[in-house]
Amino acid sequence: MNNKSLVSIQECSKDDILRIISKASLFEQNPNQELLKGKICASLFFEPSTRTRLSFETAVNRLGGRIVGFSDAATTSSSKGETLKDTILMVSNYADLIIMRHHLEGAARYASEITNIPIINAGDGANQHPSQTILDIFSIYKTQGGLDNLDITIVGDLKYGRTVHSLIVGMSHFNPTFHFVAPDELRIPEIYKTFCEEKNIKYHEYSDFSEAVINRSDIVYMTRVQRERFTDLIEYEKVKNVYILKNSMLDNSKDNLRILHPLPRVNEIAYDVDDNPKAYYIEQAKNGVFARQALICESLGIKI
Ligand code: CP
């Protein structure tokens, strides 16, 4: 991790990822520790969130730190025209760490370049969501008993899905085979295919979400079509229900298969999947607290 900020998962080496998930595992065993006593963390959410914001805030609270911030930028002076630069400089006067979600790609990078306190990117537009990737990899590790040589099927909005983009980079250290399932309009961007090719990572693309691809998967990572990223809502309407995972589609899947989803779900996983032992998305979100406890300590240089 560069300057202790976490802006992009590209900044995490394989060793970084393994160290952070190992710390997450320790926090899972013992979540309440006074490691952030006297520290103030700012939680700046310029875009809506349930899990990311609340799990970061839970992580800070469980570590004995304090939180300041906002979950609705309309209540801040940015609604009066204050720039992101001035907002970041002001909050840097008050807090030891900034956790920030913003609709603009590159916003977290920019923030990290104008302040001396660490920035954790909690999602920047369609670009990156690195803390989600750490919790996703922690979840994969817990469910598969390891990270190497897995068949990972990623389904849905691969164009705008920032969790997808970060996951591809994060898992690239572990020789995965990716199966990318998306409609033509939402295919994985060329930049990520080039990335895989340069790293000798195998990938396949599909427009059908078939049982054949599910049955060879260790992980099926479902994603929501990102309505908020479309400039033309007619285009959104065309693809919004393109893939729906139903329980019957899992009948011949591998025993170790787990279904992940960064959530929120809209309707891409039918509710009858929830009771299947292979559904893991609720536990996955719980893992976010432990992963984020580990990330906060890494960013602040706090040993556990
Ligand atoms: N996974 C995720 O980023 O969820 P929220 O948008 O609820 O934070």
CA–CA gap between residue 54 and residue 212 (Å, rounded): 37
Q: How far is CA 173 from CA 10, 150, 232, 301, in A?
A: 11, 11, 36, 24
CA–CA gap between residue 114 and residue 131 (Å, rounded): 21
Instruction: Provide the CB-side half-sphere exposure for 5 (13 A, CA).
Output: 21
The per-residue pLDDT for 227 is 81
Q: How far is the CA of 6 from the centre of ligand 1 (A)?
A: 17
Strand partners, 6: 120
CA–CA gap between residue 150 and residue 177 (Å, rounded): 6
Is 137 strand, coil or helix? helix
Amino acid at 262: P
Mean pLDDT of 260-274: 96
Read off the pLDDT of residues 276-299 as tens digits, 9 standing for 90 and up: 999 999 999 999 999 999 999 999
The residue whose CA has the least distance to atom 5 of ligand 1 is: 49
Summary mean pLDDT of the chain? 95
Respond yes or no on whether the N-terminal peptide bond of residue 264 is cis (omega within 30° of 0): yes
The per-residue pLDDT for 260 is 98
Yes or no: say if 167 and 136 are a contact pair by the CB < 8 Å rule: yes
Yes or no: say if 92 and 117 are a contact pair by the CB < 8 Å rule: yes
Q: Which atom of ligand 1 is nearest to the CA of 50?
A: 7
Residue 3 clears pLDDT 90, i.e. is over it: no
Residue 235 clears pLDDT 90, i.e. is over it: no
- Is the beta carbon of 87 within 6 A of some atom in ligand 1? no
Residue 2 clears pLDDT 50, i.e. is over it: no
CA–CA gap between residue 135 and residue 163 (Å, rounded): 11
Q: How far is the CA of 128 from the centre of ligand 1 (A)?
A: 12
- Is the beta carbon of 265 within 6 A of some atom in ligand 1? no
Query: Any alpha helices (H) in 106-206, and if so which ranges?
Result: 107-114, 130-144, 162-171, 190-198
Yes or no: say if 206 and 179 are a contact pair by the CB < 8 Å rule: yes
Q: Which atom of ligand 1 is nearest to the CA of 52?
A: 8
Residue 247 clears pLDDT 70, i.e. is over it: yes
Q: Write the DSSP symbol of residue 35.
A: T
CA–CA gap between residue 142 and residue 101 (Å, rounded): 27
Read off the pLDDT of residues 119-137 as tens digits, 9 standing for 90 and up: 999 999 989 999 999 999 9
Ranking 188-192, 229-233, 267-271 by mean pLDDT, the lowest is 229-233
Yes or no: say if 26 and 63 are a contact pair by the CB < 8 Å rule: no
* 278: exposed, middle or buried (Cβ count in 10 Å: 0-12, 13-18, 19+): middle
Instruction: Provide the CB-side half-sphere exposure for 24 (13 A, CA).
Output: 27
From 50, 121, 129, 162, the mutation candidate for ligand 1 (largest count of ligand atoms within 8 A of CB) is 50
Q: Write the DSSP symbol of residue 205.
A: E
Read off the pLDDT of residues 173-217 as tens digits, 9 standing for 90 and up: 999 999 999 999 899 999 999 999 999 999 999 999 999 999 999
Read off the pLDDT of residues 88-106 as tens digits, 9 standing for 90 and up: 999 999 999 999 999 999 9
From 43, 51, 128, the mutation candidate for ligand 1 (largest count of ligand atoms within 8 A of CB) is 51
- Is the beta carbon of 288 within 6 A of some atom in ligand 1? no
Mean pLDDT of 211-236: 89
Residue 49 clears pLDDT 70, i.e. is over it: yes
